[in-house]
Amino acid sequence: VSTQSFFFFFFFFFPPSATVDSVEYISSKVKFMKEETEEIKREMGYVKSRDARFRQTSESTYNRVWALGLGQIALLVGLSLYQLHSLKHFLLAKKVV
């Protein structure tokens, strides 16, 4: 926005006959909106950091659960093979087979 258009806007809506009170009122409103904007920025930064931390925690948990699942499958296959091996030797020892 150019300075010229700003002055046009300002003088169109607030002629030079505007009182000091109205200028102070507008100034206080602008200051309030600026503070509110800054607060919203801070809150959005906080929400963004919490979201990033939540995403990191979720991905970490997913990876650990996936690794634990693979470990359980490996353990299940290992124990199954051990049981088959033990059963084979037991049956051979008893001369059932």
Q: Which residue type sits at 32?
A: F
- What pLDDT score was predicted for residue 95? 87
For residue 96, the model assigns a pLDDT of: 80
**Cα 26 to chain centroid, rounded:** 38
Q: What tens-digit pLDDT sequence spans the chain (97 residues)? A: 456 565 555 555 555 555 667 888 889 999 999 999 999 999 999 999 999 999 999 999 999 999 999 999 999 999 999 999 999 999 999 988 7
Spatial contact of 14 and 22, defined as CB atoms under 8 Å apart: yes
Q: Are 14 and 26 in contact (CB under 8 A)?
A: yes
